[in-house]
Amino acid sequence: MTELLQPDAEGIARATQLLGEGKLVSFGTETVYGLGGDATNDRAVAAIFAAKERPSFNPLICHFPDANAAFLTVIANDRAHRLAEAFWPGPLTLVLPRTRDCPVSLLAGAGLDTLAVRVPAHDIARAMLREIDRPVAAPSANRSGRISPTTAQHVLAELSARIAAVLDCGPCSVGVESTVLDLSGEDAVLLRPGGVTVEAIESTIGAVSHHHSPGVLRSPGLLASHYAPRTPVRLDATNVQPDEALLAFGPALPGAGSVFNLSEASDLTEAAARLFTALHALDAVGAQHIAVMPIPGHGLGRAINDRLRRAAAPR
């Protein structure tokens, strides 16, 4: 039976105890709920892959309470320090070379010589991370390829009886995963758009390249089909049929059987925070398809459209 833990001292202590025993605990962050396991424990990391039914070649993000703790496990360059100062705690993940004595399981990094690290901007999550005092690997707390969870109830619906506990941290404020930036080479390379915009990153460190290589996956979120509801998704809809559910942005198209509006005011921040809740809701109505209205591609719209393209990709 999966325990539901309250976001108080007792709940944090119980979550820390379970993680220390090598068990899996989901916890909320500002982005989505993570499925946490002791990143230094090979068996705990393997259990994350098993619970998620996740391909072992897809690396995990390790979470830390602060930048100092994160940079004990990776070799941080000047750009990493500047970005950490600007955006941590927050929805930014940095991919950097592992230190020679890095304690994190190689399985957590899919056997690569790099590691993805971040400091979440959620007081309860950081309190838990401080208390356990070791890296916590935590991909999104859903089965691989499914819609990411933004509430404790989403996690229980996907993973109940597969994990030890969920630390209920309330709904996620950002609602899409962290931006992932690879700083392990000469160029800064955007691997996944997310909660920190490219524009904000470039204002801090200069030009950012974009990931185009189909080869080794250097971060989570690069599989072609990902974040997917069971209901097929149709993008850039300019019309909608009665047997389709509509994911709207701004004034909704007429004719849909069910409608979830990401933001009637066409606000991208509001839309990002509501995206996965919307997909969960529309996936449950029994429609033939989910029709998605066009969403601008600037700012957080880049992250929203990335998730929607992967949700619509062939399974």
**Alpha carbons within 13 A on the beta-carbon side of 216:** 9
pLDDT reading at 226 higher than 90 = no
- pLDDT band of residue 299 (cuts 50, 70, 90) is confident
Q: pLDDT tens, 144-174?
A: 878 899 999 999 999 999 999 999 999 999 9
**Alpha carbons within 13 A on the beta-carbon side of 286:** 0
Can you list the domains of the chain with their CATH numbers? 3-210 (3.90.870.10), 233-312 (3.40.50.11030)
Separation of alpha carbons 37 and 25, rounded Å: 7
pLDDT reading at 228 higher than 80 = no
Q: What is the pLDDT of residue 224?
A: 54
Separation of alpha carbons 95 and 185, rounded Å: 10
Separation of alpha carbons 253 and 280, rounded Å: 20
Q: pLDDT tens, 117-133?
A: 999 999 999 999 999 99
pTM given for the model: 0.80
pLDDT reading at 221 higher than 60 = no
The least confident of 153-157, 170-174, 294-298, 303-307 is 303-307
Q: What is the pLDDT of residue 65?
A: 98
Q: What percent of the chain has pLDDT over 70?
A: 93
Check residues 41 and 53 and name the one with the higher pLDDT: 41
How far is the CA of 83 from the CAs of 5, 8, 192, in angstroms?
33, 31, 16
Check residues 187 and 306 and name the one with the higher pLDDT: 187
What rounded mean pLDDT belongs to the chain? 91
- pLDDT band of residue 215 (cuts 50, 70, 90) is low
Q: pLDDT tens, 30-50?
A: 999 999 999 999 889 888 888
